[in-house]
């Protein structure tokens, strides 16, 4: 069997149909969409077709979408737009478990711009207290920025309920939906979200392209200034091939969800979880008690150092991770698991296994065959290192 990839929350393999859709725009259709000739027109049509494809996945008007380079750019644009819109509102509410691109931007605004930032806690299952959220959104709150699903645990939050709560209190609402789009059905038609971000490489599209949904009436301050691309909302020459790939990936994701593909993915995840729990003593699944996206397992193995687990699995051709890929080089324990108040034994002994529609039952069974041995060996080496 070829090497098995269970790290799809970090990035997904490019779907072959996406690759084929992109190829013409890397070869013969190389025009700049802003150019006034046939080469430019062909590229512009491709960009607008992709915009329609992404809009169909989100069930929103195409003109509300701004193409970006990634989720980080979209998140930063949304946060800065909301904070700059009304100088009288200097308060932002977020959570302690957001992606670091949100946390670092808000910490910068707090430390350098005098913005008050409220970091809401989560419980042991990674869930948010909506009563605490309601109390935190005061009259001077400019923005509430909360993710749709956590990138480490897969825990889902009730975005529709949160959006209505925030709207009723007069604040703007930004949802980092990078881990939701393409994995769970999502309709923005009647959802009072002001900003929502996505990244194509999380649902079998190319890296280097994402999109930001901006609701009607929501303020937008461009992060990048220059030309009038994206109707003046985001300067810079379009990444046409990447945008075409994003559109094709969105179309494929929409088809996957239309036939209940996320249900099949959840069954595969559950089979993997149940096999691990049956074969490995003292294994736990973080966040399992509540709603989660269909593909993610946060697996705690007390006494098994995660760096040993990663190395042993990699030697056996299984790719998994511990935390966000963006934080994989950090020696600090996961800020998500720490915020959940998990015991110390799990902070450095947790793996993230994240599947995609390209994974198979055969791969899951292969993992279950080797993992009990890997877990036992990691615990033995962990004990030896601590003596």
Write down the pTM of the prediction: 0.95
| pLDDT confidence band for 332 (50 / 70 / 90) | confident
**CA-CA distance, 73 to 51, in Å (whole number)?**
18
Average pLDDT in the chain:
96
| pLDDT confidence band for 331 (50 / 70 / 90) | low
Residues annotated as part of the active site:
326
Which helix (H) or strand (E) is 146 found in, with range? strand 141-147
What are the structural domains of the chain? Answer: 4-12+260-386 (3.90.1150.10), 16-257 (3.40.640.10)
| Closest among 163, 180, 182, 181 to 172, alpha carbons compared | 163
Is residue 328 predicted with pLDDT exceeding 70? Answer: no
Output the CA angle 119-124-126, nearest 5 degrees: 55
Cα–chain center distance at 85 = 26
**CA-CA distance, 115 to 141, in Å (whole number)?**
10
The whole-number pLDDT of residue 176 equals 99
The whole-number pLDDT of residue 385 equals 78
């Amino acid at each position: 069997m070829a090497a098995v990839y269970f790290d799809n929350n970090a990035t997904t393999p490019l779907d072959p149909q996406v690759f084929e859709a992109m190829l013409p725009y890397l070869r013969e259709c190389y025009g700049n969409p802003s150019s006034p000739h046939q080469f430019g027109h062909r590229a512009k049509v491709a960009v607008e077709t992709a915009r329609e494809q992404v809009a169909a996945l989100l069930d929103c008007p195409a003109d509300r979408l701004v193409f970006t380079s990634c989720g980080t750019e979209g998140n930063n644009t949304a946060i800065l737009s909301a904070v700059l819109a009304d100088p009288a509102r200097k308060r932002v509410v977020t959570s302690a478990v957001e992606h670091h691109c949100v946390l670092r931007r808000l910490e910068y605004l707090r430390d350098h711009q005098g913005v008050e930032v409220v970091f809401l806690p989560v419980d042991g299952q990674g869930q948010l207290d909506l009563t605490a959220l309601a109390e935190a959104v005061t009259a001077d709150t400019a923005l509430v920025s909360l993710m749709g699903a956590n990138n480490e645990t897969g825990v889902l939050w009730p975005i529709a309920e949160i959006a209505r709560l925030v709207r009723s209190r007069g604040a703007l609402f930004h949802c980092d939906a990078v881990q939701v789009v393409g994995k769970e059905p999502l309709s923005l038609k009647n959802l009072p979200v002001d900003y929502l971000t996505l990244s194509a490489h999380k649902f079998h599209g190319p890296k280097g392209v994402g999109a930001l949904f901006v609701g009607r009436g929501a303020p937008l301050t461009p992060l990048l200034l220059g030309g009038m691309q994206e109707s003046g909302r985001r300067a810079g020459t379009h990444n046409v091939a990447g945008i075409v790939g994003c559109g094709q990936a969105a179309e494929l994701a929409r088809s996957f969800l239309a036939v209940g593909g996320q249900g099949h993915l959840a069954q595969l995840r559950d089979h993997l979880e149940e096999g691990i729990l049956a074969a490995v003593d003292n294994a736990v699944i973080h966040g399992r008690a509540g709603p989660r996206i269909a593909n993610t397992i946060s697996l705690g193995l007390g006494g098994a150092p995660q760096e040993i687990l990663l190395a042993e699995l990699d030697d056996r051709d299984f790719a998994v991770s511990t935390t966000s890929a963006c934080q994989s080089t950090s020696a600090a324990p996961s800020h998500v698991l720490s915020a959940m108040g998990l015991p110390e034994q799990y902070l450095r002994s947790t793996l993230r296994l994240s599947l995609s529609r390209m994974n198979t039952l055969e791969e899951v069974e292969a993992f279950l065959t080797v993992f009990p041995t890997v877990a036992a060996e990691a615990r033995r080496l962990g004990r030896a290192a601590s003596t």
